[in-house]
Amino acid sequence: MQKVKVICNPSSGRQIMQKKVDFLCNSLINEGYIVGKFNTKGKNDAMYETIKTCDEDWDIIVVSGGDGTVKEVAKGITKSKRKIPVAILSSGTVNDFANYMKFPKDIEGFVKMIKDGNTIDVDLGKVNDEFFINVAASGLLTDIGYRVSPDVKAIFGKMAYYMEGLKEIPKSKFRPIRVKFDSEEYRGEENILLFLVSNTASIGGFRKAAPDADVSDGLLDVIIIKKSEVQDIAQIFLSIFRGDHVNHPNVVYFKTKNIRVEALEDEDITIDIDGEYGGKLPGNYEVLPKAFKIIVPKEK
C-alpha cells in the first residue's frame, strides 16, 4: 500500500483550491493509498517538509501550489538521499511549469496519472545557492511576482501580474541596465532591458517565451532583450505569443549549461526566481541535469 504526502500552499490560488486538495486526498484514500497532508505557513516550509518526507517511508509527494512552492519541493529533493517522485497539482496564480508539462487539472485525471506511475527525470536550474524549476530573471518588470500581494493574487489571478506591470512601466521609463555575460556560447557587455534564464518554454504565462526549451535536455535557455525603442519593445512582446521574438535583432537567444551575469556601473539588480525574490547580481547560473523525478501523464 503506497503512501502519498500532499504538501499544500494554502495561500496559493483561490480558496476553491483547498476544497480541490481535500477532494484529491479523499479520492486517493478511496483508491487505497495512505495519505498525509501538510500545509505550508512560510518560506522554506515546503522544502523542509520534503526533506522530512524523503527521510521517512513515503512513496510519492503531491505538491499543490505555484512555481515557487514547486521550486521549494524540488530544492528539498536535491538535498535528500532518496529521490521520491513528485506529482504537481497546479493551484498558484502563474503555474508556468505545470502548464508547460500539461498536467491534468481535474482530480479524476490527476489520480489516474498517479496510479499509472509514469515518471520522467527533469532538469533544475541553479543560480548562486538558489534553485529554480522554471525561470530566473532580472530587469524590466521581473520583480512583479513578489511585489503583488497574496490577497490581490487570490482575487485577480494572473491578471494581477499584468495590472502591476502596467502600473510600473511609466515609472521605470524602460531604463536599460548594463550587464556582462560570460558563457561558452555568448560573451560581452550589453545595455539590456531584461534577461531570462529558463528551464521551460513557458514564462510568465507566455507559452512560447523560450520556444526551443526542453526540461530534459541538460541545458538552460537564455533570452536577452537589448535596449530598445518603445515601438521595438511593443513588437517584441507581441511576437512572444508566436515565439517569433527570438528572431528580432534586439533579442539574443541561446542554450547553455552555465553562464555568469554581472551588473556593471554599480547597478543594484535583483534576481527573480520562479516569482520570488532571489538575491542580487552577480549570478552564476547552471543546470542540474535530471535532478528531479516527476509523475507525468502516460502519453508523455
- Give the per-residue pLDDT at 300: 56
For residue 154, pLDDT over 60 is answered with: no
Percent over 90 (pLDDT), the chain = 65
For residue 244, pLDDT over 60 is answered with: yes
Say which residue, 12 or 283, is predicted with more confidence: 283
Nearest Cα to Cα of residue 39 among 21, 16, 24, 52: 21
Q: pLDDT tens digits, residue range 200-233?
A: 998 877 889 999 999 999 999 999 999 988 788 8
Percent over 70 (pLDDT), the chain = 86
Which own/partner contact pairs does 52-57 have at CB distance under 8 Å and 24+ positions apart?
53/5, 53/7, 53/84, 54/80, 54/81, 54/82, 54/83, 54/84, 55/80, 55/81, 55/82, 57/3
State the chain's mean pLDDT as an integer. 87
Task: Report how far residue 94's alpha carbon sits from residue 134's, in angstroms, rounded to the nearest whole number.
Answer: 11
Task: Report how far residue 51's alpha carbon sits from residue 82's, in angstroms, rounded to the nearest whole number.
Answer: 9
Global pTM value: 0.87
How many residues can be counted in the chain? 300
Helix axes 107-116 and 16-30, enclosed angle (nearest 10): 40
- Give the per-residue pLDDT at 258: 98
Q: pLDDT tens digits, residue range 141-152?
A: 555 444 555 554
- Give the per-residue pLDDT at 250: 96
Task: Report how far residue 103's alpha carbon sits from residue 220's, in angstroms, rounded to the nearest whole number.
Answer: 22
Task: Report how far residue 97's alpha carbon sits from residue 10's, in angstroms, rounded to the nearest whole number.
Answer: 19
- Give the per-residue pLDDT at 25: 97
Q: If you count DSSP H runs as helices and E runs as strands, how many of each does the chain have, helices first?
A: 9, 15
Residues annotated as part of the active site = 276
* SS3 assignment, position 260: strand
Rounded average pLDDT over 177-205: 93
Rounded average pLDDT over 260-282: 89
Rounded average pLDDT over 137-163: 53
The domains found in the chain, sorted by start residue, are: 3-122+291-295 (3.40.50.10330), 130-289 (2.60.200.40)
Rounded average pLDDT over 180-186: 97
